[in-house]
Amino acid sequence: MLLYSISLIGLLLLSCIVQQFLPSVSSWYDARILILPLIVLCGSVTVSTGIMLILAYLGGFLWDAQQILSVTQGDPIVYQNSPDSLQFGYSVVLYTLMGFLMQGIRPIFREGK
């Protein structure tokens, strides 16, 4: 189980890198495929609660680190107020909540249904 957990964390880091290089799908109106949340959610169903919390923390931290908006990046016309409402760390809480939801599905997953 330890090797599986380490490989999940490595896959999480790899998905963070790969997601930056995937182009948007023009036939889906320039939608993007989000690999990082997919790895966190699928991994949360297969591991115990402790490992799920580690996955949620790492996934939320990496997501926030990629998507953070600083004051200098925002267009002053669009962001009339400073983007202080987008606090660093909210994704960790959201990924944890989604992980606990997936932990509720875990008994069904273990039965093979």
Q: What is the model's pLDDT at position 90?
A: 87
CA distance 69 to 86: 8
Q: Judge whether 46 and 103 are in contact, CB under 8 Å.
A: no
CB atoms within 10 A of CB 95: 27
Distance between CA atoms of 97 and 56, rounded to whole angstroms?
A: 9
- Domain assignment of residue 8, given as a range: 2-111
51 and 39 in contact (C-beta within 8 Å)? no
Residue 80: what pLDDT? Answer: 67
pLDDT value at residue 68: 77
Say what the pTM is: 0.80
Number of domains forming the structure of the chain: 1
**CA–CA dist 78, 76 (Å, integer):** 6
pLDDT the model gives residue 112:
82
Q: Which residues of the chain have pLDDT under 50?
A: none
